[in-house]
Structure 1
Amino acid sequence: MSAEFDITETLDVKGASCPMPVVKTKSAIDALDEGDVLEVLATDSGSMSDIDGWAAGTEGVELVEQEEGDGVYRHYVRKTE
């Protein structure tokens, strides 16, 4: 991982399919403080575009990075406000 940020919390949504990864990500990010980074672990390949689209259209969050390996999609979302 090339990321230069600290992970505040990890959310495991492996096995969940659309729209649950986004729904659970939103709930988890709402509970964090500004500047915190949420790591989301998913097995749904659609989560790559779903979480990207959600973050792009949602004020107060930033998709920092996404990566895939060993069948797990990792998303890093920062709360910005």
Structure 2
Amino acid sequence: MSDADPDPGLEAPDVVVDALGRLCPLPIIDLARRFGEVPVDGTVALLADDPAAAADVPAWCRLRGQRFLGARDLPTGRAYLIRRTR
């Protein structure tokens, strides 16, 4: 988990982007392509098993001015939760 909400798993995301099995930079590209579907103040969950996503997702959020809520482990990979701020 990261700096943010107590448990990013408590909230059902508005959009789920399944990037399991895809390697860098594809999970971030998939996230960027689908991000417009998320309403402002909504959330998106990026499912990824690429180890680079642990650094890439928070960096993408900082660069895009979005809020990284944290991550939780899945049976395969992790779910990264992001809140759309604008």
Instruction: Identify the TM-score tier after normalising by the shorter chain.
Output: 0.7 to 0.9
TM-score (norm 1): 0.85
How many residues matched? Answer: 80
Map 1:2-81 onto structure 2 (within 5 A): 2-3=7-8, 4-59=10-65, 61-81=66-86
Does the Cα contact within 8 Å between 2:67 and 2:84 map onto a contact in 1? yes
The 8 Å contact of residues 45 and 73 in structure 1, kept in 2 or not, is answered as no
Which secondary structure state, in structure 2, belongs to the residue aligned with residue 65 of structure 1? Answer: strand
Q: Which stretches in structure 1 are left out of the alignment for 5+ residues?
A: none
The alignment's C-alpha RMSD in Å is: 1.7
If the length of structure 2 is used for normalisation, what is the TM-score?
A: 0.81
Runs of 5+ in structure 2 lacking a partner?
Answer: 1-5
Stretches of 4+ moved more than 4 A in 1? Answer: none
Fraction of identical pairs, as percent? 15
Which structure has more strand as a fraction of its residues? Answer: 1
